[in-house]
């Protein structure tokens, strides 16, 4: 088996002698002759895309089509059409009948990269294909058959995705009949220098220049680095060194200048709970809430500016009318508002010594971001008669994010 693994490494240009890597290749070789569904897992940049090719080329399907699909790069509204096809007139812009990947790759292999990004509705369709080989085109009622082997890959923690309702548990077990886990580069320290030499040689040929070499200090730094971007990050660093450095002998000081600060090179817990797109969309909603609050404060200022001087009671030392209005949000927080009585209908308002007009307004209006967010979503949906696409556009967020928020708040449309 060792000789066979070495042949596979040479054929598919896989560099390394790590036991975990060899075990992953061995699994791929063993499952190749079968039609078992395989799930390849591992961090971003570890080289997961090589294993579906190994499985396809060593299977009886090698003479048929191999199609790789990046599920995270296809918009939610069109991914069903891409995978399963559509009929003419199924939606705006569908001017002709189109065959999807599952129809085109019949008899071959489909590689679903970033399968954890699939929308829940598409996951249901995919589950049907895995269970009985059937699918229905978008806009059609005719059931079609397909004989396709599925190899999927993801860098997500699927258990967390399942617990949060982002991925179907039954689909996960169908996809992971055999799971091939690729170890991260930081667990393959002996392979780091081998990979660097391979990349350095490739870039020397590409750019027609001498190959860069590492001294012992530089090798030690590379081996002890965390490599969050794994092989992809190492390849990028090697290319930068090959192109930018005039000296071909690379020392520790030189290599360190190309690596991100180790203090910032720690595991990011944020990625476990929220994606960058989630933060971006929710930040936009927060900005909208703050602008609405500012508008409310401006309206309050106009109301108090319209108060007549004679409408003020016994306290004659009003000073500037601006004292009624908080000049910034810190004033609201600190309650640093003038202790001037406000008169309504020529009658003084009864209050305690530490109670002010501004405080009354703050108490009546909630400052909960979650409540404001829910209120904005409901208003946008009502203004657009329930049309999610138009409501999402008005809110300044994606339609997928709006759909997630609707599910989160359990809104009934």
Residue 391 falls inside a structural domain: no
Domain count, the chain: 2
In which domain, by residue range, is 243 found? 186-264
Can you list the pairs that 356-359 forms with residues at least 24 positions away whose Cβ atoms lie under 8 Å?
A: 357/304, 357/324, 358/324, 358/325, 358/326, 358/331, 358/332, 359/335
Domain identity same for 29 and 124: yes
CA angle 112, 278, 295 (to 5 degrees): 150
User: In this predicted structure, what is the pLDDT of residue 1?
Assistant: 63
Domain identity same for 246 and 130: no
Burial of 31 (0-12, 13-18, 19+ CB in 10 A): buried
DSSP conformational letter for 111: E
Domain identity same for 119 and 259: no
Burial of 64 (0-12, 13-18, 19+ CB in 10 A): middle
Domain identity same for 193 and 154: no
Residue 159 falls inside a structural domain: yes
Domain identity same for 30 and 143: yes
User: In this predicted structure, what is the pLDDT of residue 278?
Assistant: 53
How far apart are alpha carbons 47 and 113 in whole angstroms?
12
Classify 282 in phi/psi space as left (phi over 0), alpha (psi -120 to 50) or beta. Answer: alpha
Q: What is the DSSP track for 146-193?
A: ---EEEEEE-S-HHHHHHTTSS-HHHHHHHTSEEEEPPPGGG-HHHHH
Torsion over CA: 19, 22, 27, 30 (sign): negative
For the chain, give the number of residues: 413
Strand pairing partners for 136?
143
Inter-residue contact 219 to 250 (CB < 8 Å): no
How far apart are alpha carbons 286 and 293 in whole angstroms?
11
Last residue of a domain, one of 264, 285, 304: 264
DSSP conformational letter for 71: G
Residue 295 falls inside a structural domain: no
Domain identity same for 94 and 178: yes
Strand pairing partners for 140?
none
Last residue of a domain, one of 232, 264, 296: 264
**What's this model's pTM, rounded to 2 decimal places?**
0.64
How far apart are alpha carbons 250 and 170 in whole angstroms?
51
Residue 276 falls inside a structural domain: no
User: In this predicted structure, what is the pLDDT of residue 297?
Assistant: 78
Nearest to 78 by CA among 382, 389, 392, 377: 389
Classify 45 in phi/psi space as left (phi over 0), alpha (psi -120 to 50) or beta. Answer: left
CATH number of the domain residue 244 falls in: 1.10.8.60
Inter-residue contact 152 to 115 (CB < 8 Å): yes
Residue 160 falls inside a structural domain: yes
Separation in Å, CA 390 to CA 77, 395, 413: 14, 9, 14
Q: What is the DSSP track for 366-392?
A: ---HHHHHHHHHHHHHHHTTT-HHHHH
Residue 373 falls inside a structural domain: no
User: In this predicted structure, what is the pLDDT of residue 269?
Assistant: 43
Return averaged pLDDT per consecutive 10 residues of the chain, 413 residues in all: 88 94 96 96 96 96 96 92 94 91 96 96 95 94 96 95 95 96 95 96 95 96 95 96 94 93 51 49 70 76 65 44 45 43 43 42 56 83 84 84 81 70
Domain identity same for 199 and 177: no
User: In this predicted structure, what is the pLDDT of residue 346?
Assistant: 44
User: In this predicted structure, what is the pLDDT of residue 366?
Assistant: 55
Residue 329 falls inside a structural domain: no
Residue 375 falls inside a structural domain: no
How far apart are alpha carbons 38 and 32 in whole angstroms?
10
Tens of pLDDT along 293-337? 777 777 777 777 766 554 444 444 444 444 444 444 444 444 444
User: In this predicted structure, what is the pLDDT of residue 279?
Assistant: 54
Domain identity same for 92 and 179: yes
Domain identity same for 82 and 193: no
User: In this predicted structure, what is the pLDDT of residue 307?
Assistant: 64
Burial of 162 (0-12, 13-18, 19+ CB in 10 A): middle
Domain identity same for 179 and 190: no
Domain identity same for 177 and 219: no
Q: What is the DSSP track for 234-260?
A: HHHHHHHHHHH-S-SEE-HHHHHTTSP
Inter-residue contact 101 to 69 (CB < 8 Å): yes
Domain identity same for 80 and 13: yes
Q: What is the DSSP track for 139-156?
A: T---EEE---EEEEEE-S
38-41 and 178-181: which strand pairing?
A: parallel
Classify 346 in phi/psi space as left (phi over 0), alpha (psi -120 to 50) or beta. Answer: left
Last residue of a domain, one of 264, 291, 325: 264
CATH number of the domain residue 178 falls in: 3.40.50.300
């Amino acid at each position: 088996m060792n000789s066979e693994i070495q042949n596979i490494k040479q054929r598919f240009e896989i560099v390394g002698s790590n036991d975990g890597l060899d075990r992953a290749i061995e699994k791929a070789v063993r499952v190749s002759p079968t039609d078992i569904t395989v799930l390849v897992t591992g961090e971003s940049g570890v080289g997961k895309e090589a294993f579906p090719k190994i499985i396809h080329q060593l299977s009886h399907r090698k003479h048929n089509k191999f199609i790789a699909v990046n599920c995270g790069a296809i918009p939610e509204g069109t991914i069903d059409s891409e995978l399963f096809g559509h009929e003419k007139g199924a939606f705006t812009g569908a001017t002709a009948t189109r065959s999807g990947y599952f129809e085109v790759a019949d008899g071959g292999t489909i590689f679903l990269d970033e399968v954890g990004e699939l929308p829940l509705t598409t996951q249901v369709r995919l589950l049907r294909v895995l269970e009985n080989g059937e699918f229905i085109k978008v806009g059609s009622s005719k059931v079609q058959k397909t004989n396709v082997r599925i190899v999927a890959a993801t860098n997500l923690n699927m258990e967390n995705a399942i617990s949060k309702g982002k991925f179907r548990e039954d689909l996960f077990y169908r996809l992971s009949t055999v799971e091939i886990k690729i170890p991260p580069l930081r667990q393959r320290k002996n392979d780091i220098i081998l990979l660097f030499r391979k990349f350095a040689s490739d870039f020397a040929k590409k750019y027609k220049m001498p190959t860069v070499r590492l001294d012992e200090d530089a090798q030690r730094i590379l081996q002890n680095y965390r490599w969050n971007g794994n092989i992809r990050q190492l390849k990028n660093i090697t290319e930068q060194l090959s192109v930018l450095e005039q000296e071909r002998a690379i020392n520790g000081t030189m290599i360190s200048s190309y690596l991100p600060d180790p203090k910032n090179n720690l595991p990011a817990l944020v990625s476990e709970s929220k994606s960058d797109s989630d933060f971006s969309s929710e930040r936009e909603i927060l900005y909208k809430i703050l602008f609405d609050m500012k508008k409310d404060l401006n309206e309050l200022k106009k109301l108090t500016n319209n108060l007549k001087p004679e409408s003020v009671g016994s306290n004659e030392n009003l000073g500037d009318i601006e004292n009624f209005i908080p000049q910034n949000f810190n004033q609201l927080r600190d309650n640093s508002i003038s202790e001037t009585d406000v008169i309504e209908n020529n009658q003084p308002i009864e209050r305690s010594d530490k109670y002010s007009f501004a405080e009354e307004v703050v108490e009546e209006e909630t400052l909960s971001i979650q409540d404001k967010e829910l209120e904005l979503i409901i208003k946008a949906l009502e203004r657009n008669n329930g049309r999610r696409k138009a409501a999402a556009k008005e809110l300044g967020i994606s339609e997928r994010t709006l759909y997630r928020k609707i599910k989160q708040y359990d809104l009934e449309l």
